Chains A and B, each alone.
Chain A
Amino acid sequence: MSIHIPILIIISPLLAAFLVLLTRKYKIVLATGSIIISIVFTLTLSSRVLSSDKITYHLGGWRGPLGISLVIDGLSFFFSLIALGLGLLVIIYSIPEKRYGRTYYFLLLVSLSSMIGVIYTADIFNMYVFYELLSLTMYLLIAYPKTGVTLRASFNYLIMGGVGLSFFLLGVGFLYAMTGTLDIFHIAEKLPAVFNSSTRMVLMSFVLIATGMGIKIAVFPLHGWLPDAHSMAPSPVSALLSGVTVKIGIYCLIRVVYTVFSAEMFFLINSHNILMVLGVVSLLFGASMALAQKDLKRLLAYSTINQLGIVLIGLGIGTELGLTGALFHILNHAIMKSTLFFCAGIMIAETGTREVQGLNGFGRQQPVITFAFIIASLGMIGIPPINGFTSKWLICLAAVEAGYVVLVAIILMASAIAAAYYFRVIQVLLSVPLKQDPMSGHEGEQMIHRGNLFRSWPIYILAAGCLLLGLLPTLGISLVKPAVSFLLSHAAP
């Protein structure tokens, strides 16, 4: 039975999703149980994967390029842990909300299953299919409260996501035309021979795939869907979107660049320079736009564009330090941004307003949640005892080592702008309200006692994770090491 674990990790949330639609009483038990089963299965594979071994599983018994295989190596394992861990916390966070019916848990479970499907598959068309499934569930989850703003935001995301994935599919088509196979590792074997004969088609497919993934990652020119979608969604869905779904796009980009097109080609066509430039522009754009926002969740959404710019800079540098920093920053940003969105959800539910100015006096009512918010935002800025500092520091070191000193200045400037807008929010949180509003105090008391346990424990766990990874940076780097070593064993820049 243990040989079938890779497919069981994908099937367990999917099966639970369809069983959730049949029952009403057991939906939460099924949801959390299936994700816990998947996490347990993933952890049992950890010993084999961390010793730099690759686990392959052939669906249907068809080997090689004939069938679809699942491959779990350091990179997939790392991303799947992030996705499953955050998925479990999102489900726990959405337990006390009575408005979420069976459809919500169904969509959450299908989206988590398709995330793991994208991460584990070794067949590039299967990656497209699972990614479309993930995007479909995300469009529905954003539009779950069927108000006008959420529908418009979700429709915007649908159009841009559909276009992006069409670009990706066209790139896959070019790859198939050149090599005749769809398995990632077989394409990697056959591609160098093709590259010498028809360079332009390889470049065309790379550009198409990179553009398609760029739309899903929301780099600067293609980011238009992100502020609306991430801010108008319900809070647990926002945490899942910002924390994991954009990272799946980065995973696909890394997988295609480092495994399919080997890293030599990546450096040969100067795309690492383009990636760094795009990262810098996203960084500054996200920081400046976040400074001007009055809505709390929109501010956090632009901050996501900011941090993903840093990840792209790290990826563009391409050395071992740069890759370690970028992957570690993906983990850190997932934890920190989820903490921030969970706290924002509680703040919006209790004060009734989405504006930053309306959060007056929240710090006095709920000191622990405010403390978690402060820890996570300090990490986003990059202040030492919190994990965000470690990953930004690694990327700055990699930039200096590779000779791009200007990048360090730009990252520091963007961190200063991030400090400006996060401290503005913290200042409002910690301030005393001008006049005592009797109604808000009364409602605040009620909401504190109602279902607060399920909402606050994920926040405590995530904030503790921020502190832990910050105080013990070697723990985080040892998680990232297998992924980086796998990427670099294929690369020789």
Chain B
Amino acid sequence: MNPVNISLLVFMIGLYGVMSKNNLIKKIMGLTIMNGSIVLFFISIGYRKGGLAPILEKGTTGGIPTTIFVDPLPQALMLTAIVIGISVTALALAMIVKIYSKYKTLDIQQLSKER
């Protein structure tokens, strides 16, 4: 039950949501859940047993630390990934607002029947 397995499980749940829900907003929720699971995956990869947060305290020089820090690189990468997820979600929600104002429905089966 390590975090990697849990994040893959949540990824599959998000993928199920995108594929099989008919409502457009539920599809966006599924996509957001997938992004969240990837964030969880990356952060759990960077974990080192007994590691501290990767912040140097005031007063230390830039020498090689003898303590164990968790890996800071996945955390920085995930900031970027969260920003991208927000942008895609914002764009999708704006499109949903426009689609609703034109078609008065958010069901994808009915939308695909429109011509």
CB distance from B33 to the nearest CB of A (A): 10
Binding site for B on A (CB under 8 A): 125, 129, 132, 136, 139-140, 143, 146, 148, 151-152, 154-155, 158-159, 162-163, 166, 169-170, 173, 176-177, 182
Task: Find out whether the CB atom of B45 lies under 8 angstroms from the CB atom of A132.
Answer: no
B residues in contact with A151, CB < 8 Å: 95, 98-99, 102
Q: Considering only CB atoms, which chain B residue lies closest to A166 in the complex?
A: B34
Task: State A155–B77 Cα separation when bound (angstroms).
Answer: 26
User: Which of the residues A129, A148, A162 comes within 8 Å of B103, measured between beta carbons?
Assistant: A148
Contact of B95 among A158, A169, A177 (CB under 8 A): A158
Contact B99 A148 (CB under 8 A): yes
A132, B38: Cα distance in complex, Å = 15
**Interchain nearest-CB distance for B86 vs A (Å):** 11
* Across-interface contacts of B91 in A (CB, < 8 A): 136, 139-140, 158
Report chain A residues within 8 Å CB of B34.
162-163, 166
Interface size on B, residues (CB 8 A): 31
Answer whether A152 and B111 are a contact pair too, CB < 8 Å, given A146-B98, A159-B18.
Answer: yes
Which residues on the A side are within 8 Å of B73 (C-beta)? Answer: 182
Q: Is the CB of B95 within 8 A of A176?
A: no
Asked if B96 lies at the interface with its beta carbon under 8 angstroms from chain A, I say yes
| Alpha-carbon separation in the docked complex, A158 to B35 (Å) | 14
Q: Which of B42-79 touch A at CB < 8 Å?
A: 42, 45, 73-74, 77
- A148: which B residues are within 8 A, CB to CB? 99, 102-103, 114
Q: For A139, what are the chain B residues with a Cβ–Cβ distance below 8 Å?
A: 91, 95
Report Cα–Cα, A350/B52, bound state, in Å. 67
A227: shortest Cβ distance to chain B, in Å? Answer: 12
A169 touches B99 (CB 8 A): no
List 8 A-B pairs, minimum CB-CB distance, nearest first: A177-B45, A148-B102, A166-B34, A132-B84, A162-B31, A155-B95, A173-B41, A151-B99
Q: Which residues of A contact B80 (CB under 8 A)?
A: 125, 129
CA–CA, A143 and B95, complex, Å: 9
User: What is the distance, in angstroms, from B41's C-beta to the closest C-beta of chain A?
Assistant: 5
Asked whether, in the complex, the Cβ of B99 is within 8 Å of the Cβ of A163, the reply is no
CA A192 to CA B89, docked complex, whole Å: 38
Option from B41, B92, B98 in Cβ contact (under 8 Å) with A170: B41
Distance to closest chain B CB from A133 (angstroms): 8
Contact status B42-A166, CB under 8 Å: no
Distance from A64 Cβ to chain B, minimum over Cβ atoms (Å): 14
- Known A148-B114, A155-B99, A159-B31: A169·B38 in contact at CB below 8 Å: yes
Contact, CB under 8 Å: B41 / A155: no
Given the complex of chains A and B, what is the CA–CA distance between A129 and B80 in angstroms?
8
**Chain B: CB-nearest residue to A163:** B18
Closest CB in chain A relative to B77 CB, distance in Å: 6
A125 to B45, CA, bound (A): 15
- B22: CB under 8 A from chain A? no
**B88 contacts A158, C-beta separation under 8 Å:** yes
- The smallest C-beta distance from B10 to any residue of chain A, in angstroms, reads 11
Kindly list chain A residues whose C-beta atoms are within 8 Å of the C-beta of B112: 152
In angstroms, Cα B18 to Cα A26, docked, is: 43
Question: Across the interface, do A152 and B99 meet the contact criterion of CB distance under 8 Å?
Answer: yes
The answer on a CB contact under 8 Å between A159 and B38 is: no
Any A CB within 8 A of the CB of B15:
yes
A-B contact pairs, 12 of them (CB 8 A): A125-B77, A125-B80, A129-B80, A132-B84, A139-B95, A151-B99, A155-B95, A163-B18, A169-B38, A170-B11, A170-B41, A182-B77
Q: Which residues of B contact A177 (CB under 8 A)?
A: 45
Within the assembled complex, what's the spacing in Å between the Cα atoms of A177 and B35?
18
Q: How many angstroms from the CA of A151 to the CA of B73 in the assembled complex?
A: 37
Chain B residues in 8 Å Cβ range of A155: 24, 92, 95-96, 99
Contacts of B96 in A (CB 8 A): 155
Q: Specify which of A132, A143, A155 lies most central, judged by the most chain B CB atoms within 10 Å of its CB.
A: A155
Q: How far is the CB of B113 from chain A (nearest CB, A)?
A: 11
Question: B88 to A132, Cβ gap below 8 A?
Answer: yes
> Within 8 Å of chain A (Cβ to Cβ): is B13?
no
Chain A positions within 8 Å of B27 at CB level: 159
A166 touches B38 (CB 8 A): yes
Contact between A163 and B15, CB atoms less than 8 A apart: yes
Q: How far is the CA of A136 from the CA of B88 in the complex (A)?
A: 7
Assembly CA distance A125 to B34 (angstroms): 17
- Closest chain A residue to B115, Cβ basis: A149
Please report the C-alpha to C-alpha distance between residue A170 and residue B45 in the assembled complex, in whole angstroms: 12
Residue in B18, B84, B99 whose beta carbon sits within 8 Å of that of A129 in the complex: B84
Query: Given A148-B103, A163-B18, A163-B31, does the pair A169, B81 have CB atoms closer than 8 Å?
Result: yes
